[in-house]
Amino acid sequence: MEIVQFFFSHLSGQKGRRRWAVAFFLGILASGAMAPVYAVFLLIPSLVGLIWLTYDNICLREAFFVGWWFGFGHFVIGLYWVANAFFVQPQHFGWMAPFAVFALAGILALFPAVTVVASRSLGYYSSGVGRVLVFAAIWVLFEWVRSWVFTGFPWNLIGSVWTFSDSIIQFAAFSGVYGLSLLSITVAAMPAILVNNISWRTDCSPLLPISVITLTFFLVWAGGSVRLLGANNEIVSDVVLRLVQPNIDQKLKWVSSYKELNFKEQIRMGAIKSRSGLPVPTHIIWAETAATFFIEKEPILRQAIAHSTPKGGLTITGALRKKQGEDDTYKVWNSMHGIDDVGNIVGTYDKSHLVPFGEYAPLRKIFSFSKFTVGTTDFSAGPGPRTLRLKGLPPVSPLICYEVIFSNQVVNDQDRPEWLLNLTNDGWYGVSSGPYQHFDSARLRAVEEGLPLVRVANTGISGVIDGYGRVASRLELGTKGILDSVLPRPLPKTLYAKFGYWIVISLIISQLIVGILMKCNKKVRKI
């Protein structure tokens, strides 16, 4: 207890810029819990420290800045890999890299800042336990808000730190990733109540709530383990998928002299005889924009694809799609095509959730911004999640690139699919933490929906994930190869898939009310 009191006194005694610097360091510390490090234990000192920095002895304005600096440190390190995209064309955009990372981190830091202010205000008269409950509830509330504001960017939610444990992430089938975040923050922040301070006193020993929340976490792990013991390992009959990961350098992907070579190489990889002991593949899957041509306007190129397409099967590829207007204008979509063994396009999906500045320039007409990628034309958005029925395959929900990071937004509830297909090109970000974090998000969508997910990435990580979020097989980041795999069967519709955000909001409101009602008892003697 003495060492706890020492650190509390030291942190709470910081003022001005020194307080901000400590908050910045704590935010950096929290980022270590994310993929690929998974140092989850770092959440404890970082969140406890943040709470101690921002309660009792500072005004709301100062609390806002402390929260902002914490968020800035957290997102600068957690999202450093964004800078790599600007060095694909360094002569044009390289100078923007640090500004882009800092700007993105600065915007996202607003959410922890508002969280700190709101939780301090609502939990000011609560006991220590109550304050922690309020803090965790409001943090998750703003994680959810982050999935919508500024078109949404729910990257590196706290709940995603548990993807190294198949057992723990089973909780997402009931509460989604936000329920995992709520549990994780509550557990990690609860040691803050160990401080010997009158405003934090409770009617019981601080060890009791810590023990209760720790036991709750253990029960979540045990429940997940039991769920996996009874796992359904059935597969779809007569379906063998081939995932093609060509590992094409993003700097060369759109260079005219390489486009044909890259195209032919992917055809060659798709035609390789099976070496995995599985039957001949029935369907071949390429990554996002694997075909660097407007394939719907190129019958000769579609015929080339058809030659390597299994008889009676399909090749599924990402490609750009263009439609000419009557006034000589045209629209472009980031799309997915299913091409049969005679070269016909038998199914198309257009990406709906576009990347700001990467695929379109927000408020272009007002500020004359341009996007930071090849071409000047903004992409058009598709209609949203839809279910495709492709020959020889169960109904599928296509997801292109970061569409897979949006919890409860990956399927059409009126026409539910039986699996998810994520085509992506993470080659923009090189060998960095970004692709690992992206892959973890995909795994959580599989658990939430109870649906298997197949992921094909240009440079990795490609893989097949079952409805429990278990990785059946994968191709590592930065490698070239093919992966032949069966397709797992879907699980019964999960609780989260049935009720979605209602569960999240119910958990947040319930915990918030309990936390506010847990008033501090100033008559309790010192711990």
Rounded-to-integer distance, Cα 43 and Cα 40, Å: 6
Helix axes 43-53, 60-78, angle to 10 degrees: 160
Contact assessment for residue 441 and residue 224, using Cβ atoms and an 8 Å cutoff = no
Rounded-to-integer distance, Cα 263 and Cα 293, Å: 9
For residue 229, the one-letter residue type is: L
Rounded-to-integer distance, Cα 144 and Cα 2, Å: 37
What's the token pair of residue 444?
């959580």
- Which of 143, 359, 401, 418 is an active site residue? 401
Active site residue 288: yes
Active site residue 251: no
- Which of 62, 143, 288, 418 is an active site residue? 288
Question: By CB neighbour count within 10 A (0-12 exposed, 13-18 middle, 19+ buried), where does 381 fall?
Answer: middle
3-state SS, 306-368, equals HHHCCCCCEEEEEEEEEEECCCCCEEEEEEEEEEECCCCEEEEEECCCCCECCCECCCHHHHC
Active site residue 59: no
Question: By CB neighbour count within 10 A (0-12 exposed, 13-18 middle, 19+ buried), where does 92 fall?
Answer: exposed
- Which of 62, 253, 351, 371 is an active site residue? 351
Cα–Cα nearest to 407, from 381, 442, 433: 442
Cβ-based neighbour number of residue 167 at 10 Å? 18
Any idea which residues carry the catalytic annotation? 288, 351, 401
